[in-house]
A and B are shown apart, each in its own frame.
Chain A
Amino acid sequence: GENVEQHPSTLSVQEGDSAVIKCTYSDSASNYFPWYKQELGKRPQLIIDIRSNVGEKKDQRIAVTLNKTAKHFSLHITETQPEDSAVYFCAASRNTGFQKLVFGTGTRLLVSP
């Protein structure tokens, strides 16, 4: 089955710096790659997603890139702010006609003022 690996497990940056989180997946049939943000004690919430027919997607300060050949995708956060501090999860879903997300193990991002 699908396996999603996520790195790094923790990431500390200064406010205003950029942050990059990387994920690799094993199943070449995966076609949907969402990123979720989970603040401490809260529920995961979708922040951005990308489909396999797209190489890059941006939404204000966040962007996701996908390399299907290498089977990896990355989350980029620019101009980080303290409120970006959270755990970020990547996930992948295979094109089976139904969504079964396989999640990475998460990255704890700490943005220091």
Chain B
Amino acid sequence: NAGVTQTPKFQVLKTGQSMTLQCAQDMNHNSMYWYRQDPGMGLRLIYYSASEGTTDKGEVPNGYNVSRLNKREFSLRLESAAPSQTSVYFCASSARSGTSTDTQYFGPGTRLTVL
């Protein structure tokens, strides 16, 4: 049982390049999330998926798109990377949808640098 996994662990992009961050969970969780973490700003929600087949914007969605490929996988795409998207990206999952009081489990993170 690996929990939440993310690939890649590190990535360097040039401005304007595109890439997809991958996330998968093997806990049969319904809900999945993407956060970015910047120094002094905590974790900010980019997009979330309450259940398979649904996605919605979080606090900072501009410049990103997501796909809930199936119940296990939730990807984050940067279509045209900008230096402001340099950050550490965390994927998370929680067991149930339809509740606000569930534990979120985080992946190990992807450290992205945009030059």
Contact = CB atoms under 8 A, between A and B. Distances in A.
Contacts of B103: 34, 46, 49
A9 to B, nearest CB: 8
Interface residues of B, number: 26
A103 B100 contact: no
A99 to B, nearest CB: 5
A85 B53 CA distance: 40
How big is the A interface, by class?
Answer: 20 to 34
Nearest to A41: B109
Interface string B84-98: 000000100010011
Interface in B23-75: 31, 40-45, 48, 50, 58-59
A102 B44 CA distance: 7
Interface in B79-115: 90, 94, 97-109
B88 to A, nearest CB: 10
B109 A43 contact: yes
Interface in A50-109: 51, 89, 91, 93-106
Given A43-B107, A43-B109, A44-B106, A97 B100 contact: yes
B106 A45 contact: yes
B70 to A, nearest CB: 20
A112 interface: no
B31 A98 contact: yes
B101 A93 contact: yes
12 contacts: A31-B101, A42-B108, A43-B106, A43-B109, A44-B106, A45-B106, A49-B103, A89-B42, A98-B99, A100-B100, A101-B43, A102-B45
Interface of A: 1, 6, 9, 31-32, 34, 42-46, 49, 51, 89, 91, 93-106
Which 3 pairs, one residue from A and one from B, show the smallest C-beta to C-beta distance?
A103-B42, A43-B106, A32-B101
